Amino acid sequence: MRTQSLPGFTGYLECADGIQPRRVTHVIFDFDGTLSIIRQGWPEIMTPMFAEMLPPLPGESQAERERICLDDIMRLNGKQTIYQMIQLADRIRERGGSPKEPLWYKHEYLRRLDERISERIQGLQSGRFQPDQYLVHGSRNLLDGLKARGLPMYLASGTDEPFVKREAALLGLNPYFEGRIYGALDDYKQFSKKMIIDRMLRENNIPGGQLLSFGDGYVEIQNTKDVGGLAVAVASDEANNGSGKVDAWKRERLLGVGADVVIADFRDAETLLNLLIAP
């Protein structure tokens, strides 16, 4: 991988040596942090909750406990939320505690997160906020470019499906995905991004090499590379949308699972698509 300056690019671009446009027939997106920033700041809700629930070790500071929790949380970022809760329950058990069911922790986290994002949701519902305020910079231009190329787009998120569908609708994304929006289920074994990708390839009878993905979590990048697809890591700076800066933690994590391209946002949408997709 190397940082590159190519004609038409004004933002951050890092791509694998020798990358060439390829035939792409289907595209899959992660949601939170890749397209939507409605849930920006979610680790600031989950980390303190985990630290609160985790029995302290002798001499362990609050900061040390929060660091352990954050490491667990971010290592599982991109998977369904329930997996982070399973990890919390395991940590509690390791420390001699008696954890609740992971689903209880998930619902408590969602309750706390809802308090944080309720103003954003209400503002979008009332029209006080414009949808593009809560889209990663340049997202709509990218989606328009893919739609103009006639490429079917799928959305698969580790966030619960009812919330993903609600928030995608608020952001005006439904026309791009045409019902192909999937999210986590309480019966978590019935959903995974890998399952969505495998079904997409099977139902459309296409090889994995024709798949293009965009994501800010390791799961969708890894799943795409596992089938031979082209994976774009969106190392978005969610707290400063449009800053053009990459999130260093995301970048390192996503390169580690084989991302072909790293960008900060979609400011160079059309030029990026020309780099990736053969005419």
Q: What is the pTM of this model?
A: 0.92
Q: Mean pLDDT, the chain, as a whole number?
A: 94
pLDDT of residue 189: 87
Element (H, E) at 156: strand 153-160
List the single range of 83-87, 109-113, 247-251, 266-270 with lowest mean pLDDT.
247-251
Q: In 3-state terms, the chain is what percent helix, strand and coil (to 5)?
A: 50, 15, 35
User: pLDDT digits over 111-131, tens only?
Assistant: 999 999 999 999 999 999 999
Q: What does the pLDDT average to over 247-275?
A: 94
Q: Pull the structure tokens for residue 110.
A: 């969602």
Q: What does the pLDDT average to over 57-67?
A: 95
DSSP 88: H
**231, β-bridge pairs:** 213
The answer to whether residue 63 scores a pLDDT higher than 60 is yes
The amino acid sitting at 171 is: L
Backbone φ and ψ for 266, nearest 5 degrees, come out as: -110, 30
Say if residues 250 and 216 touch (Cβ distance below 8 Å).
yes
Buried b (16+ CB within 10 A) or exposed e, 32-67: bbbbbbbbbebbebbbbbbbebbeeeeeeeeeebbe
Q: Pull the structure tokens for residue 51.
A: 């630290």
Ordered domains of the chain (ranges, CATH)? 2-37+135-276 (3.40.50.1000), 43-126 (no CATH)
Q: What does the pLDDT average to over 73-82?
A: 89
User: pLDDT digits over 165-209, tens only?
Assistant: 999 999 999 999 999 999 998 888 889 999 999 999 999 999 999
pLDDT of residue 77: 84
Q: Which DSSP string corresponds to 9-53?
A: --S-EEE-TT---B---EEEE--BTTTB-TTTTTHHHHHHHHHHH
